[in-house]
Chains A and B, each alone.
Chain A
Amino acid sequence: MKISYSWLKEYIDLALTPEELQERLTFSGIEVEAVERLGEHLGQFIAARIQSKEPHPNADRLSVCQVFDGAQEFQVVCGAPNCAAGQIVPLAPVGAQLGDFVIKKAKLRGIESFGMICSEKELGLSDNQDGIMVLPEDTPVGQSLADVLKLRDVVFEVEITPNRADLLGMIGVARDLAAQLGKPLKLPEIDVGGARVMRYGYGRKLDLRTADEKQLQTIPDIGPRRANYIAEYRRTTGFENPESLLRVDKIGRKVLAAAQGSFLPFGEVQEVWQSIHEVLKLDNRDPERCPRYTARFIRNVTVGPSPEWLQDRLRAVGLRPINNIVDVTNFVMYEMGHPLHAFDYDLVADKTIVVRRADEGEEFSALDGETYKLATDDLVIADAQKPIALAGVIGGENSHITSATRDVVIESASFLYSGVRRTSGRHKIFTDSAFRFERDMSDQSAMLASERCAQLLIEVAGGTLYSGVLDSWPSKPQPHCVSLRPERVRAFLAVDIPDRRLIRYLEALGCRLLSRDEAALNFEMPYWRKDLTREIDLIEEIIRLHGYNNVPRQTVDQEIMDRVGFVLRRVLADGLVADGFFEVVNWAFCDPEALDWLNLADEDRRRFAPRLLNPVGARFALMQPTLLPGLLKCLSYNVNHGNRDLRLFEMTKVFFRQDMHLAEEEYCLSGLICGNRESVHWDGDPAPVDFFDMRGVVEGLLEHIGIEDAEWSVSQEPFYMQGMAADIAIGGVTVGSVGRLDTKVLERFGIETPVFAFDLSVKALRQSQPSSHEEFRPISKYPPVLRDISFTLDRRFSVEEVTKAMRAVQPDIIREVRLFDQFTGKQIAAGKRSLSFGLHFHSDAKTLTDDYIDPLFARVVKRLEQAFEIEMR
């Protein structure tokens, strides 16, 4: 639904900017889906005067106008037949934008044109394209069209949730805003010819001539006694006007002044009142599907275009003005939320309105130009012979208002929502009216909408309103009452809202406080809020108005769990298990001698293991500073039990203590492999594991936890074999090592087979892990190109060095350099090796051609020759 900012301001004093209003609406549950600034594009059009008009020398249909915009004169070629000198017209100057089209200086059949004179359609104002738009004669030349048309408004496209039928009109939205902002709601005074006046919303004005004693007591200063006197006076004498109250006992000027505002003015009583009952009959045969049907009658209207203000209002909310009668019904629907329909009285056969079910297969020609075959489940409004409307959904072609219409019947009714929904769905007719009735309109608002419509029709289209109203309303719904326990509200919301504030919120929404006792407040729900039926519904309203985001925070996140570490340890363990490793668990103790066996230097951090005063035995005297001794013990045990192909890991805490109260405790992850790479398979021979198997394990683990750029350097750890071990660093910080354990070290642990180990600090890995998730990288649309390069390299250079050097030649194009072969042998000189790499060239911007790659490849070769003395093979 669309909401016009300026229309809304009729009902509430808004001190908010449109932006603030948008925020308000959204946080009160009326989600703003789009904001449209009307007239914004009209700012570029200028009211200009046509000074002169000459026929185009080369075209019959075109004319050449000299146009004055208040400052300058332009020549504009125009094709509209209705353009004439002296007119004030909307001019689109050079540079103005019309849809996708920008006005440029142009030559039309040889004559230069500097702009365009626009039609209403071109300006997006209406569908009218019969020539250019002509502005009133007194329009100031040079003013922008937005100002001329006063079309500066902000329109909000809002989503009304299906439970809030009351928000389907401007007044409903204004009421909700008023409740939020604590402002009064300004409702239109509805006066239908003095017959009856009523206010919409909370607080009713009383008719002094009909109000009973109880009602009279709601007036300030009037208690039971004065009410009784008034009733007595009325019975015996009667009132001519409120002033007559002065004649009642105990009522003086002071009381009258206080009470005055509570009464309806006594309108001018017309001499002759013709009643609707003389001209129209109503027969409601299905009160279940049509709980209320009202009809009013206006004689002798003048059908024509609506006044500007009415057209503007409708256009702002996206409706097309049609004629004053239809426009008023639409206006009232958008104002009050309740749909209405107007019939041409002359076309109502037998002057009878029948509300009934359709006959099976009965035909009905609707306003949309289609003919529908109705079902017995469809409710129709009919005259004595034929359906004249599909109830609540769409009017009939046979009875709609035309320029010939003189007398009008105003229908305002309520229809059962489920029936309207079925009919609308069955015939696929989706109208503003059906949309509203499907959301369950109230019976009461039907009468108010009818009165408002009658009032506006007389104002806009003239005519005489007949007195009275046909009103079929056999079973009036009882007002719904809900008890609210303020203590419950406060306990449920954990917000300290005092009783008086609760009452204020609910009263602002139209709830009426009937009574209160110790525990509860008893409210009567307004008829327009059928969605409020339980205490919890009221609690929702209270917190909605109070502001969901104004609830004080009570729960602070005090994350106890180290989720990152927890997940990291699981991921590492799972990665190793998938890679064939078995986890072992050892006691956390360590034999002091094992540290010697590992060749640890005296100053090695691992020498500072906490020592127990009362160990289980001398070989368990330390808290373990490394997991390797325990793992080696397990490996030895399993080898001795006949399992020679082993992959083992342990992940637990290691301990260090050096001048401190307690100790440093860190998670460590270590593993060992020995024996053959794969257990025997029928399709290949087993091969013994080597350094690169273990390095691969670690590479896989690092990749698994999102670390891509590990640096590998020769390790100095004392328990590895020289030249067969690497330290791993990430961002310069060492996270661990991988290598072949020294034969002598293994001997001390009673192991004869080659063993490869990795030793990682989980703490260091955790610190090196990228803190955020990987981000998506767009996939290049262009194909990659693969080139191989083979050369011999002196052994003093590492593969990592040459790989980096090759990439560095142009890292955005050379995406990957992958070693795929190493060869040494008789053909290769001693101290050298032959290496083969695959170079992946890839661009995000273009297809790489040989012309591009060849020079790049040559640069790679040149770089390698200069830096590494390679020889190409």
Chain B
Amino acid sequence: MNPQNRQLQEIVARAEGEIGQAANLHDLQLVKSRWLGKKSELQGLMKLLGGLPKEERPAFGQRVNQAKSQVGACVRLREETLKEADYLRTLEERRLDITMPGRRRQAGALHPITLATRFIEDVCISMGFEVAEGPDIEDEYHNFDALNTPDDHPARDLSDTFYIEDDVLLRTQTSTVQIRVMETHKPPIRIIAPGRCYRNDNDASHSPVFSQLEALVVDKGVTFADFRDTVDIFTKRVFGEQIESRFRPHFFPFTEPSAELDILCSACKGSGCNVCKGSGWLELGGAGMVDPNVFRACGIDPEVYSGYAFGFGIERVAMLLLGIPDMRMLFENDVRMLRQFRSYKGVHQGSGASS
């Protein structure tokens, strides 16, 4: 080995040593200019080139260049190592506590009565019902006469009904909407009428202002069996697959036959608890086949058409679905209660809908 070669090897070794020592990218840059810059030893060796015999020049030049690229490669390798280390250090420094809360506006919530109303509306719309509305301030004809409630019926008593004038009152039930729809539309009719009703009554389970939802179906060939099954499907879709329903014979002036509608207690599923007072059943509302007199009052021939109606209080459904113990809480509007019901699922948990 000739002296120049030994010198070259020695320079490369020293350079590699220093490169390996560079602790950060800045240092590495300095090391790089020392060993590869214009004033570097390797560059200096190139100046010796002119003094060599002509035939040795190419070989020597080549070796110097090799040494340079060897040192260059070493620098690049070190650079990558340092960059990777930098990157990992940055990651470590910037690591977030992802358990901290996000930046957002806290969502509000719909009122439990609205939640229950929407839920029932959506169930009914999926069963082909349209949503109908009528006035809260009604006349006696739509609230009583047309609904086959005679003049001297106790329901007309001032103690039960709010009056504005002799003939003008606050509707006591949403059945008024039945009449208004049948007066203006021909069967087939398939509606629900959610809305506010008013009765002069105020205690733990009664509010003078409350919401009802009433369903009405009128068509040719509507049978008691259709009625029974539709109500059963409805209650199961609202309260859950396992909640059976049953009819108890009852009296309403506007239906014949009339029934009270019970559902299996949604709290104990029928085994008896304090919600259902041990009976296993809860009274939900009223139901029945539309009375022929009601049809006649609306100009619909009861010999051609038949139909059924059922209705119930929405507050009661909201209380059952959400487990609210006292109806008065619904009207206190305490945000500590309201914020408990933020999510609207749209289907009853455990009902037929998948996913």
Residues of A bordering B, CB below 8 Å = 555, 558-562, 566, 570, 573, 576-589, 610-616, 620, 623, 634, 637-638, 641, 643, 646-648, 652-653, 655, 657, 661-663, 665, 678-679, 681-683
Sample 24 A-B pairs with CB under 8 A, ordered by A number: A566-B131, A573-B110, A573-B114, A577-B110, A580-B105, A582-B108, A585-B330, A588-B196, A588-B198, A613-B163, A614-B200, A620-B208, A623-B164, A637-B334, A638-B335, A641-B334, A643-B335, A648-B333, A648-B335, A653-B196, A655-B136, A657-B137, A665-B137, A682-B100
Q: Is B189 an interface residue (CB 8 A)?
A: yes
Pairwise interchain contact B108-A583, C-beta atoms closer than 8 A = yes
Pairwise interchain contact A638-B333, C-beta atoms closer than 8 A = yes
Q: Which residues of B contact A652 (CB under 8 A)?
A: 196
Report how far A643 CA is from B332 CA in the complex, Å: 14
Complex partner residue of B132 from A561, A637, A657, A662, CB under 8 angstroms: A561
Report how far A814 CA is from B291 CA in the complex, Å: 67
The 7 nearest A-B residue pairs measured at CB: A584-B333, A561-B130, A581-B108, A583-B111, A663-B137, A587-B209, A634-B333
Pairwise interchain contact B111-A585, C-beta atoms closer than 8 A = yes
CB distance from B165 to the nearest CB of A (A): 7
Closest Cβ neighbor of B168 among chain A residues? A662
Complex partner residue of B334 from A573, A587, A615, A638, CB under 8 angstroms: A638
Q: Which residues of B contact A661 (CB under 8 A)?
A: 139, 168
Q: Of residues 96 to 111 in B, which have CB atoms within 8 Å of A's CB atoms? A: 100-101, 103, 105-111
Pairwise interchain contact B108-A579, C-beta atoms closer than 8 A = yes
Complex partner residue of B139 from A570, A585, A613, A662, CB under 8 angstroms: A662
Q: Which residues of B contact A561 (CB under 8 A)?
A: 130-132, 191
Known: A634-B333, A682-B101. A587 touches B207 (CB 8 A): yes
Known: A558-B186, A616-B200, A638-B335. A583 touches B138 (CB 8 A): no
Report how far A614 CA is from B139 CA in the complex, Å: 16
Which of A584, A652, A682 is packed against the most chain B CB atoms within 10 Å?
Answer: A584
Pairwise interchain contact A570-B108, C-beta atoms closer than 8 A = no
Report how far A581 CA is from B106 CA in the complex, Å: 9
Complex partner residue of B162 from A615, A638, A648, CB under 8 angstroms: A615
Closest Cβ neighbor of A684 among chain B residues? B103
Other 6 A-B pairs with CB < 8 A, given A613-B163, A646-B335: A561-B130, A562-B131, A584-B333, A588-B196, A620-B208, A681-B101
Pairwise interchain contact A588-B209, C-beta atoms closer than 8 A = yes
Q: Which residues of A contact B338 (CB under 8 A)?
A: 582-584
Report how far A585 CA is from B327 CA in the complex, Å: 12
Known: A577-B108, A616-B208, A682-B101. A610 touches B131 (CB 8 A): no
Pairwise interchain contact B108-A663, C-beta atoms closer than 8 A = no
Complex partner residue of B137 from A560, A573, A589, A610, CB under 8 angstroms: A610
Q: Is B2 an interface residue (CB 8 A)?
A: no
Closest Cβ neighbor of A643 among chain B residues? B335
Pairwise interchain contact A616-B202, C-beta atoms closer than 8 A = yes
Q: Which residues of A contact B163 (CB under 8 A)?
A: 612-614
Q: Which residues of B contact A588 (CB under 8 A)?
A: 136, 196, 198, 209
Report how far A581 CA is from B133 CA in the complex, Å: 26
Closest Cβ neighbor of A631 among chain B residues? B333
CB distance from A606 to the nearest CB of B (A): 16
Report how far A277 CA is from B256 CA in the complex, Å: 85
Q: Of residues 296 to 320 in B, which have CB atoms within 8 Å of A's CB atoms? A: none
Q: Is B89 an interface residue (CB 8 A)?
A: no
Q: Is B23 an interface residue (CB 8 A)?
A: no
Q: Which residues of A contact B165 (CB under 8 A)?
A: 613
CB distance from A798 to the nearest CB of B (A): 29
Pairwise interchain contact B109-A583, C-beta atoms closer than 8 A = yes
Closest Cβ neighbor of A633 among chain B residues? B333
CB distance from A700 to the nearest CB of B (A): 11
Q: Which residues of A contact B108 (CB under 8 A)?
A: 576-583, 647
Pairwise interchain contact B136-A637, C-beta atoms closer than 8 A = no
Report how far A93 CA is from B29 CA in the complex, Å: 80
Report how far A729 CA is from B235 CA in the complex, Å: 45
Q: Is B331 an interface residue (CB 8 A)?
A: yes
Q: Which residues of B contact A576 (CB under 8 A)?
A: 108
Report how far A643 CA is from B113 CA in the complex, Å: 22
CB distance from A663 to the nearest CB of B (A): 4
Pairwise interchain contact A582-B158, C-beta atoms closer than 8 A = no
Pairwise interchain contact B336-A665, C-beta atoms closer than 8 A = no
Pairwise interchain contact A577-B202, C-beta atoms closer than 8 A = no
Q: Is B17 an interface residue (CB 8 A)?
A: no
Q: Which residues of A contact B185 (CB under 8 A)?
A: 558, 560
Q: Which residues of A contact B58 (CB under 8 A)?
A: none
Q: Is B135 an interface residue (CB 8 A)?
A: yes
Report how far A562 CA is from B134 CA in the complex, Å: 11
Q: Of residues 69 to 88 in B, which have CB atoms within 8 Å of A's CB atoms? A: none
Pairwise interchain contact A584-B132, C-beta atoms closer than 8 A = no
Q: Is B118 an interface residue (CB 8 A)?
A: yes
Report how far A561 CA is from B189 CA in the complex, Å: 11
Which of A579, A616, A657, A682 is packed against the most chain B CB atoms within 10 Å?
Answer: A616
Pairwise interchain contact B106-A679, C-beta atoms closer than 8 A = yes
Which of B191, B331, B335 is packed against the most chain A CB atoms within 10 Å?
Answer: B335
Q: Which residues of A contact B209 (CB under 8 A)?
A: 587-589
Q: Which residues of A contact B339 (CB under 8 A)?
A: 582
Pairwise interchain contact B130-A582, C-beta atoms closer than 8 A = no
Q: Which residues of B contact A585 (CB under 8 A)?
A: 111, 113-114, 330-331, 333
Q: Is B67 an interface residue (CB 8 A)?
A: no
Q: Is B181 an interface residue (CB 8 A)?
A: yes
Complex partner residue of A681 from B103, B137, B168, B191, CB under 8 angstroms: B103
Pairwise interchain contact A560-B107, C-beta atoms closer than 8 A = no
Q: Which residues of A contact B336 (CB under 8 A)?
A: 641, 643
Q: Of residues 158 to 198 in B, which have CB atoms within 8 Å of A's CB atoms? A: 158, 162-165, 168, 170, 181, 185-186, 188-189, 191, 196, 198
Report how far A652 CA is from B103 CA in the complex, Å: 32
Pairwise interchain contact A637-B332, C-beta atoms closer than 8 A = yes
CB distance from A25 to the nearest CB of B (A): 36
Report how far A655 CA is from B208 CA in the complex, Å: 17
Pairwise interchain contact A580-B137, C-beta atoms closer than 8 A = no
Q: Which residues of B contact A611 (CB under 8 A)?
A: 164
Closest Cβ neighbor of A612 among chain B residues? B162
Q: Which residues of A contact B207 (CB under 8 A)?
A: 587
Complex partner residue of A665 from B103, B136, B188, CB under 8 angstroms: B136
Complex partner residue of B110 from A579, A583, A616, CB under 8 angstroms: A583
CB distance from B156 to the nearest CB of A (A): 13
Closest Cβ neighbor of A556 among chain B residues? B186
Report how far A655 CA is from B170 CA in the complex, Å: 12
Known: A614-B163, A641-B336. A583 touches B131 (CB 8 A): no
CB distance from A667 to the nearest CB of B (A): 10
Q: Which residues of B contact A581 (CB under 8 A)?
A: 108
CB distance from A164 to the nearest CB of B (A): 35
Q: Which residues of B contact A620 (CB under 8 A)?
A: 208
Pairwise interchain contact B164-A612, C-beta atoms closer than 8 A = yes
Report how far A580 CA is from B336 CA in the complex, Å: 14
Q: Which residues of A contact B162 (CB under 8 A)?
A: 612-615
Q: Of residues 261 to 302 in B, which have CB atoms within 8 Å of A's CB atoms? A: none
Pairwise interchain contact A586-B333, C-beta atoms closer than 8 A = yes
Q: Of residues 203 to 219 in B, which have CB atoms within 8 Å of A's CB atoms? A: 207-209
Pairwise interchain contact B138-A662, C-beta atoms closer than 8 A = yes
Known: A562-B133, A585-B113, A662-B137. A580 touches B107 (CB 8 A): yes
Report how far A662 CA is from B334 CA in the complex, Å: 34
Closest Cβ neighbor of B315 among chain A residues? A585
CB distance from B324 to the nearest CB of A (A): 13
Q: Which residues of B contact A555 (CB under 8 A)?
A: 188
Complex partner residue of A653 from B113, B136, B330, B334, CB under 8 angstroms: B136
Q: Which residues of A contact B118 (CB under 8 A)?
A: 570
Pairwise interchain contact A657-B164, C-beta atoms closer than 8 A = yes
Complex partner residue of B331 from A578, A579, A586, CB under 8 angstroms: A586
CB distance from B104 to the nearest CB of A (A): 9
Report how far A566 CA is from B125 CA in the complex, Å: 12
Q: Which residues of A contact B200 (CB under 8 A)?
A: 614, 616
Q: Which residues of A contact B334 (CB under 8 A)?
A: 637-638, 641
